[in-house]
Amino acid sequence: SQQGEEDPQALSIQEGENATMNCSYKTSINNLQWYRQNSGRGLVHLILIRSNEREKHSGRLRVTLDTSKKSSSLLITASRAADTASYFCATDGSGGANSKLTFGKGITLSVRP
């Protein structure tokens, strides 16, 4: 079953603006990850936030995690045309040694030059 659910499904912004994407999930997790996928290519890992962390930064990326609301947000600041891609959140489901990642449906971000 799909764990993460991103919101919105699609987002179109102007270059230089900030982009905020949200992810909600259903069950307890050990960590939540965000990935980016350019059209027809492999996924690129962006950031991993553990269940005991509330906020994490990496360059122009800021991720928050609210385990009480079972939600996470990804903020991309000062967006660039090169940020145009699909973004997926993925959760591990707090399973044991064989816990797997389950990906949300994804958000399509378009950054207009």
Residues that bind other proteins (CB under 8 A): 2, 30-31, 33, 35, 40-45, 48, 88, 91-93, 95, 97-106
Cβ nearer to other proteins, comparing 44 with 78: 44
Q: 15: exposed, middle or buried (C-beta count within 10 Å: 0-12, 13-18, 19+)?
A: middle
Q: How near is the Cβ of 10 to other proteins at its closest, in Å?
A: 10
> Closest Cα to residue 27, out of 97, 100, 105?
100
> Closest Cα to residue 111, out of 42, 59, 38, 23?
38
Instruction: Compute the half-sphere exposure of residue 69: CA atoms within 13 Å on the CB side of its CA.
Output: 10
Q: How near is the Cβ of 97 to other proteins at its closest, in Å?
A: 6
Q: How near is the Cβ of 23 to other proteins at its closest, in Å?
A: 12
Cβ nearer to other proteins, comparing 60 with 105: 105
